[in-house]
Structure 1
Amino acid sequence: MKVEAVETALVAPSEVTPRHALWLSNLDLAVPKTHTPLVYYYPKPAPSDGGAAEEEEAGSFFEPARLREALARALVPFYPLAGRLAVGPGGRIEIDCTGEGALFVVARADFTGDEVFRDFEPSPEARRLLVPFAESGDPPCVLAMVQVTFLRCGGVAVGTGMHHVTMDGAGAFQFIRTWTGLARGEAPSASPFHDRTLLRARSPPHVPFEHPVYSPSYLNGAPRPFVTRVYAVPPKLLADIKARCAPGASTYCAVTAHLWRAMCVARSLPAESDTRLRVPANIRQRLRPPLPATYFGNAIVRDLVTVKVGDVLSQPLGFVAERIKRAVSRVDDAFVRSVVDYLELESEEGSQAARGQFMPESDLWVVSWLGMPIYDADFGWGRPGFVAPAQMFGSGTAYVTQGPEKDDPVNVLFALEPEYLQCFDKAFYGE
């Protein structure tokens, strides 16, 4: 498969924007210094009898100039994305709001949408084809990259690479909704809130909780070869999984408990050993006072759930789901402030930069996109038919997502070592 770039440009904000250094919080600095690659697939619209006007509209399907102009306008309220990563006083990373612009690429592919998206699997190859690549995520790198790829079938893939220090998933979809709304000719939605000092550490720092998930020793596992598969959880299977949990168990807790059990089976983990689940919690509404609804940055705190493998396998599924629920529920204002202060002390000791990126084989990390507006990305030619990460970054990581329609299956994108796949498939689907 080949992709040829036919246009590459920097798109600057359409108006003059503030020029200053933007301070980054400890939660911003605790994420990997990489660009997060996402891909949106838009199938070619079905032909109809709409006449000449509709044919003209079809001829302008994903007109690059329209997307480029809307991007320039979106970068006015989201002006940090037009800046560059920089090193500020004391060596602390910050965003230099220079207004230089986001990278915008138009490309043509020699393959069809079905060849890639019918059974899409995130991979380095998918990222190479569909998302711009930055050699490094270190300063002074570009922060926002977009590629619009016209496929041989007439469909379009839009790949985005946004630097993780600039935003979390909620922030990414906030930006996409603004960009797509402007492309449809709508007025900009609510302005993003950029002041990240709301998450500044206390003086002196106070750490009443333990935070092993942020320990420099936690993510120092060895990289292992892995492949990513998409596992559909159709409504009947989802209902069965939730029925085995307590009434009111969330889809995330129930599906993650089921996934955790299948992983322990597939990897043949010793029953007496510990297995740990890394869970993320959106803190926007958990702080007192809450963060502004449009807070643009990283507002995710992580925690670890530690359980004996034997308990994951032998206890009722509801036991595991309840442990997950308890971990997510305990993330309140006091816990978040403790995390921020812990990271402050860790950075002062110089250990934060030494953290690796790979979990031990006994562990699992599950990110939820449930309830996020990932399919509200309509540039004016319809909603995407598929949205997913273009690449995963380590074995044992998973995303739980919902399809474009409410009756669609929940999907689990899971990265696992190839030798465990067959056993995992059987365990996940109850064979």
Structure 2
Amino acid sequence: MDPKSVRYISECFVQPQYAPEESKQPFYLSPWDLAMFSVHYIQKGLLFTKPPPADEQENFIGGLLDRLKSSLSLTLVHFYPLSGRLSTRKEENPPTYLVFVDCNNSPGAKFIHAALDMTVSDILSPTYVPVVVQSFFDHDRALNHDGHTRPLLSIQVTELIDGVFIGCSLNHAIGDGTSFWNFFKAWSEIFQAHGNEACISQPPVHKRWFPDGYGPIINLPFTHQDEFVIRYEAPQLIERIFHFTSESIAKIKARANSEYNTKKISSFQSLSALVWRSITRVRRLPPETTTSCRLAINNRSRMEPPLSPDYFGNAIQTVRGIATAGELQEHDLGWAAWKLHEAVLNHTDKKVRGFVDEWLQSPFIYQLGQFFDPLSVMMGSSPRFNKYGNEFGLGKAVALRSGYANKFDGKVSSYPGREGGGSIDLEVCLPEASMHALESDGEFMASVSSSN
């Protein structure tokens, strides 16, 4: 066996420690959830170093696994939809296709123990993220609709020589990034409180949002999954993590605002504009080519009245700035950043409700291959999530990594930097030639503080 490949040691299923009453009923999905069936699971995880005594503790990993499973069982009481499976009811006349979560006929969430004969340094020191990191996650290439036969949540704990990686794969039709990290946080809190489930600081809100007059049952206009489930295979990409200190980001923001003579452009809009201009430049697109920069945007705070920040489900869309490749290079950073600022500013309650109303009139399912194009940039995830606040008796994580899921040419995921304080890590996915060109781009690399 290749020592550089992951060995699977054991797997089991974890049920909620007890079944809350509401878990006995079908759990219906909102338009935002249903549109996600043909994209991948969310795959994110944290890399920890083993505490020093662990070297001498023969059963260190056994004790850790037991505590992770018992705390997960308690966490699933609160996040009970994650212990279920998708189920579909079909009618032929008229054709209806109703998908919901069934928590009563499921073995629970999956829990995998694996091992790899590599060190933390082997994972973090290479310039590009090693491909083996994709093996730290279950549900490789699974689409959310596969949740009919696969667990909606799968945890994989991979033991390294001197570290532990806790990888989480969560069905994206059940929750978005906010939901994912709220779950992770609750699990960490219960773990650290030694099973005191009352310690959850942000209990999930499961009541799904529907516009007046709709829900909770929404029938899709399909007769078979093949009408909307389309498998996606990413082109050959390499991944690199670029680190930006809070000081570097402050300079980018000051530059963008100064160039556009405003004070309204945010740090993240400024950084996204830098990435958009830089990647477009190294792609050497013809000047008349239309390109865009999409930003994942949270609808919770934009609704009137706002949804709870603890709303568990999908409440995201994308907004985008559009410009030709020539315009991006003719104008300065501030001009591009203002395009993104306007896109965010215009994403109002009216826009959100308009999108949902249109979807309800003519439901569609997002397709990875069509939704994203190789001429554009997509900024996903968020540096606002407190990802490094999740500890499992192992201290603060040393790095955050993701799996194969939802990646394509121009996908950039933003994470908080480990040191906090407004620093940001960008996980950039590009074909090899474009990545090498970006690494030689003076404007971009002048703002990068470090990378790995």
Q: What TM-score results when the alignment is normalised by the length of structure 2?
A: 0.82
The corresponding residue for 1:7 is 10
Q: CA RMSD in A?
A: 3.0
Aligned equivalents of 2:214, 2:61: Cα separation in 1: 56
Match of 2:398 in 1: 385
1: CA distance between counterparts of 2:97 and 2:308?
Answer: 29
| Contact 1:3–1:109 (CA under 8 A) maintained in structure 2 | yes
Among 170, 173, 190, which residue is 1:162 paired with? 170
Deviation readout 1:299-322 (Å, 9 max, x if unpaired): 112223211222211212111111
The alignment partner of 2:301 has SS state of: coil
Tell me by how many angstroms 1:136 deviates. Answer: 4.0
In the alignment, is the contact (CA less than 8 A) between 2:17 and 2:74 conserved in 1? yes
Change (3 A) 1:358 1:329: closer
Gaps of at least 5 residues in structure 2 are 91-95, 216-226, 258-262, 448-452
1:229–1:156 distance in 2 versus 1, CA, 3 Å: same
Aligned to 1:208: none
Equivalent residue number for residue 69 of structure 1 = 70
Q: In structure 2, what is the Cα distance between the partners aligned to 1:260 and 1:417? A: 16
Q: Could you say what secondary structure the match of 2:302 adopts?
A: coil
Identity among equivalent positions (%) equals: 25
Aligned partner (choices 81, 89, 98) of residue 92 of structure 1: 98
Q: CA deviation at 1:235?
A: 4.2
Q: 2 CA distance for matches of 1:165 and 1:412?
A: 25
CA-CA distance at 1:378 after TM superposition: 0.9
For structure 1, the 5+ residue unaligned runs are: 49-53, 205-215
TM-score by length of 1: 0.86
Shift of 1:34: 2.4
Tell me which of 178, 188, 197 is aligned to 1:180. Answer: 188
Given the superposition, is the C-alpha separation of residues 352 and 201 from structure 1 closer, same or farther in structure 2, using an over 3 Å criterion? Answer: farther
User: Residues 168-317 of structure 1: matches in 2 within 5 Å?
Assistant: 168-185=176-193, 186=196, 187-189=198-200, 190-196=202-208, 198-200=209-211, 224-246=235-257, 247-317=263-333
Deviation at 1:2, TM superposition (A): 2.3
Q: For 1:282 and 1:221, locate their aligned partners in 2 and report how far apart those are by CA, in whole Å.
A: 25
- What is aligned with 2:356? 340
The answer to which of 284-293 and 130-139 deviates more is: 130-139
C-alpha separation between the residues in 1 aligned to 2:155 and 2:295?
29
- Contact conserved, 2:39 with 2:366, CA < 8 A, in 1? no
Please state whether the residue corresponding to 1:85 is helix, strand or coil.
Answer: strand
Q: Give a deviation string over 1:29-86, Cα, whole Å, max 9, x none.
A: 22244221112101122569xxxxx987994686111110000000001000000012
Q: SS state of the match for residue 394, structure 1?
A: coil
**Following the alignment from structure 1 to structure 2, what is the Cα–Cα distance between the partners of residues 226 and 299?**
29
Are the aligned partners of 1:180 and 1:378 in contact in 2 as well (CA < 8 Å)?
yes
CA separation in 2, counterparts of 1:257 and 1:229?
A: 19
Decide which moves more: 98-107 or 408-417. Answer: 408-417
Q: How does 1:299-378 map to 2 (within 5 A)?
A: 299-347=315-363, 352=365, 356-357=369-370, 359-378=372-391
Structure 1, residues 378-431: CA drift from partner, whole Å, max 9, x if none? 112312111122235211110122212225842211111112122212222159
Structure 1 partner of 2:161: 152
The answer to whether the 8 A contact 1:41-1:386 is kept is yes
Deviation at 1:5, TM superposition (A): 2.1
Instruction: Please say if residues 50 and 394 of structure 2, whose CA atoms lie closer than 8 Å, have aligned partners that are also in contact.
Output: no
